Chain A
Amino acid sequence: MNYLKAVLGHIGGTVLLLVQALQHVHTLPRQFNRFIEQCYLIGFTSLPIVTILTFFIGSVLALQSGYSMENFGAKQLIGSLVGLSVVRELGPVMVAILIAGRVGSAIAAELASMKVYQEVDALVTMNIPPERILVLPRLAAILFMMPPLTLIGILCGWYGGALVSQYTQTISVDNEAYFAALKRYMTQQDVIDGLLKAEVFGFVIVLVCCYTGLNTRGGPREIGASVTKAVVASLILILVLDFFVTKALL
């Protein structure tokens, strides 16, 4: 019962944090520098790992599906399978998981340490709402950076699949055939749905990590615990939301 109460308390607290942050939306143009800084930290610095991970996800997917599809004589459709899987599911989810591990943990650690070392209290006494300068620029930055990150991730996944399909002897599907199959079953709506999913995941990750960081109490050990809690909660939420968002978009 107490656990349920705590979970409901966290959900309420997170929604409240969002409402409080949104009350300061009009200050966003004044916080342009903070927004750009967060775009750099969230987006640009995540780019290398996003490209590497999605490239290999696409490659392995092509390898596995090529191996299986050969038995049905359907390996010409490998482009469609890899393309659709990456754009609708693996791209958004893998990028979100990366963002949770890389960006979410950094946000939770930074805000938790600011809370523990009373920097957040100092902001409160200065009548500068922490939601305004700590939460809002991060939420805006993730909304802005998640679509390009995911799009780059999707493209890397497709090209990873294409390379493996062409140069693996057992598959040997050239680029032309791969991309022709990919285009045949791909619609613009698939890409939009994928990006929409990524946007939802990214927004929830940053919100949850901000909430967890700002609600840290104690010392250095609690900062570590908050980071773990924030990342675990983000990962669970990505997977749970994935089901519901996918269902809603189908």
Chain B
Amino acid sequence: MSPAFTATPFMDKTFGVTIRNLTKSFGRATVLRDVNLEIKPGEIFCIMGPSGSGKSVLLKHIAGLERATSGEVRIGGHDAGDPATRALVHLALVFQAGALFNSLTVYDNLALYPREHRLAKESGIRERVMNALSILSLEKAANKFPAELSGGMKKRVAIARALVMEPQLLLYDEPTSELDPVMSATISEIIATLREQTAVTSIVVTHDRTLAMNIAERVAFVVEGRIRAVGRPDEFKQPTDPLIANFLNPVIDLKNPRFKQLENSHE
């Protein structure tokens, strides 16, 4: 694989993330409860947990898109919610649904960031964009609009757009959902390779066990807005916590299906 990044002045510094006593409520619903996490610079950190457990909201706090009800999120000592932090930390977020600019072509989606920040001349931007597109096998889609792409392609374009930003902190929200197993493995390899090449801190919200267990240095489990467990992937090979064991190795039991158990518990 060709190098994903070129050298930039930002790349000599990576940032860790510190989350202290983070609580977030939307009206009466509390989505995150007293979350504490320390993510080291250059680490690949996976956040796993059932749907609706608050993983994506946690990621949005790190990206500065949500303000905490109480507690704090700091990126290398800077307040994640402060707009000034975005000028100090190169941060990229790969959105679950892509969040591509629908009025722009794939090429212009990728070129927007370097153009707006005047990082290179148009020829340099072209080289950078085409490099990112080639890493994700998207060269042929350069002139297409997002509406013409499949769900999986949109996801890859979103990752390519993040690559072009040459970030110091890379956040992924479900990067392998909607992708076939081979493309999921490719994305996992890209996440790991990027870290090797650039020491970028990567925080990955995912349901993908293969991704988390193969490339993460540490994994956190979020259940009902709380951190249930944090540890190295090998610590979760034989999980003692029944909830985590069920999440990582769900057994399909047709004789006693879960939905029947739920129905019975409501009666």
Contact = CB atoms under 8 A, between A and B. Distances in A.
Given A127-B86, A127-B87, A122 B101 contact: yes
B93 interface: yes
A167 B65 CA distance: 64
Contacts of A118: 95, 97, 99
Interface string A105-129: 0000000011001110110111110
A133 interface: yes
Contacts of B65: 121, 124-125
Given A125-B64, A128-B113, A128-B116, A119 B100 contact: yes
Nearest to A31: B116
Interface size band for A:
10 to 19
A121 B65 CA distance: 7
B101 A125 contact: no
Contacts of B100: 119, 122
Interface in B77-109: 86-87, 91-93, 95, 97, 99-102
Nearest to B66: A121
Nearest to B85: A127
Nearest to A110: B103
7 contacts: A114-B101, A118-B99, A124-B86, A125-B93, A126-B92, A127-B86, A128-B112
Q: What 6 pairs between A and B have smallest CB-CB spacing?
A: A118-B99, A127-B86, A122-B99, A125-B93, A128-B116, A126-B113
Interface of B: 63-65, 86-87, 91-93, 95, 97, 99-102, 112-113, 116-117, 165
Given A118-B95, A128-B117, 19 more contacts: A114-B101, A117-B97, A117-B102, A118-B99, A121-B65, A121-B93, A121-B99, A122-B100, A122-B101, A125-B65, A125-B86, A125-B91, A125-B92, A126-B92, A126-B112, A126-B116, A127-B86, A127-B117, A133-B116
